[in-house]
Amino acid sequence: MSEYLIRRLLQSVLVLFLISLVSFGLIHAAPGGPATIYIKPNQSPEIAKVQLHNMGLDRPIHIQYWSWLSKMVQGDFGITFKAGRPVGDLVWPALKNTLILMTTAWVMQLLIAIPWGIYNSTRQYGLSDNTAAVVAYAGMSMPAFWFAILMQEFFSLKLDLLPLSNMYAINKQGQILDLIYHMVLPVTVLVIIGMAGYTRYARASMLEVLGQDYVRTARAKGVSENKVIFKHALRNALIPIVTILGLDLPGIVAGAALTETVFNWPGMGRLFVDMAYAREYSVIMAVTMIVAVFVIIGNLIADILYAVVDPRVRLSGKGATSA
């Protein structure tokens, strides 16, 4: 196992390096730059050159990349072009805010969706199953931002029950209760949209397991239905779900840009969009690398959990293989 982990770790470093190379190249290849965002009459081109120089953008690209890389491995993400803010000051608070929102939404959607999906698989086409299907299709077809605005219109404007946006009220910074009050709407939006997929996966996976021969055998033996579901079928049904969970992990970090924008939640998704518009390369790279790290961790966790949950799977040097 440890040999497997070490191998994966080395692979990850290589992958991260390649990701940084490609991202850096793509960002710099995109037309426009931080100095060309605003064009006014009488803007002199000499000033654009000076600004580019002050930002360090007139150096050859491999020098720029090397400079960025050598700082990054030491933990220094650099500074923004405008006003020279340390990138860490922008990214770490945004990461914390996104984690608060997305982890809550993710855990809630799992706690609701998986049991509900599994319950529905045992009572197919009943009222609960049909309701779940409606919710699932609605959640999958609705654009998140539209749903978010609708919720705002209804619960905040018309009913005046919940706040419109932001994390805290102006005078209540840092108060947990106020935070929870502000989280209700965005978490509801994220849960309803995200729950859709998981309910269907859980249901489908459980149905497939329940159709297997060994389940039939267990029933024939006279095992109680509860024991059949919880002791025999559940663990097997969870295998594909576990894989999906691992792959979903980066989503917690990347944030939901549109939802964060509508609710003015100062998270990673919004930060990335704002900085992409402003062509702040150092922040874009920092966010990309952080998400990349989580993608790799997510994949690793998914692979390991897969081996844990399914005894047939043995982690070899090359990765998980099914017997």
Partner 1 sequence: MALALAIVMATALFAGCSKGTKTENPTTTTPPATTVDPNKPVDGGTLTIGTFSDIVTVNPIMIDDTSSADVAGFLFAQLYDVSAKGEVIVSPWSIAKEPFAVSADKKSYTVKIRTDAKWSDGKPITADDVVFTYKTLSNEAVGSPGYSNYAQIADVKANGADTVVITLKDVDSRFEYSLTANIVPAASFKDVKPEDIGKSKFGTDRAATVTSGPYTWAEWTEKQYIRLKKDPNYWGQKPHIDEIVFKIYADQNTEVQALMKGEIDFLETVPVAQLEALKGVQGISIYEDAGPVYDYVAFNFLPDNWPNKFVPFAGAKTRQAINHALNRKGMVDSVLKGHGTLLNGPFLASGWAATPEATAKWEFDVAKAKKLLEEDGWKPGADGILVKDGHKFEFELMTNAGNKRRESYAAIIQQNLADVGIKVNIKTLDFSAMIPDNVTPGKYQALLLGWQLGLDPDAESIFSANYFPPAGQNSGWYKNEKTDKLWEQGYKVTSRAERKAVYADILKEFANDPPYVFLASQNLMTAYNQRVHWAKEDAPVQAIPYGYFYHILNWWVTK
Binding site residues, partner 1, CB under 8 A: 31-33, 36-47, 50-51, 53-54, 79, 82-85, 90, 93, 130-131, 133-134, 137-138, 142, 145, 149-150, 152-154, 156-158, 160, 164-168, 170, 173, 260-264, 266, 270, 274, 279
Q: Which CB, 267 or 298, lies closer to partner 1? A: 267
- Measure Cα distances from 54 to 1, 81, 181, 276 in Å: 50, 8, 44, 20
Cβ 25 to partner 1 shortest distance, Å: 17
Q: Name the minimum Å distance from CB 7 to partner 1.
A: 41
SS3 316: strand
Residue 266 DSSP label: -
- We find the least distance from the C-beta atom of residue 157 to partner 1, in angstroms, to be 6
Helix (H, G, I), strand (E, B) or coil at 86: strand
Residue type, 44: S
Minimum separation from the CB atom of position 237 to partner 1 (A): 23
Judged by beta carbon, residue 66 or residue 154, the one nearer partner 1 is 154
Q: Which is nearer to partner 1, 154 or 230 (CB)?
A: 154
C-alpha closest to that of 244 among 199, 191, 311, 288: 199
| Residue 108, both tokens | 């809630």
Among residues 41 and 222, whose Cβ is nearest to partner 1?
A: 41
CB of 303 to partner 1, least distance (A): 36
Give me the count of residues in the chain.
323
In this complex, which beta carbon is closest to partner 1, that of residue 73 or of residue 127?
127
- 9: its two tokens: 């770790």
Q: How far is the CB of 164 from partner 1 (least distance, A)?
A: 6
**Which is closer to partner 1, CB of 134 or CB of 220?**
134
**246: helix, coil or strand?**
helix
Q: Which is nearer to partner 1, 32 or 211 (CB)?
A: 32
Contact status, residue 114 vs residue 202, Cβ threshold 8 Å: yes
* Cβ atoms < 10 Å from Cβ of 305: 17
CB of 298 closer than 8 Å to CB of 286: no
* CA nearest neighbour of 117 among 229, 212, 195, 232: 195
> How many angstroms separate the CA atoms of 140 and 152, rounded?
20
Smallest gap from Cβ 156 to partner 1, in A, equals 7
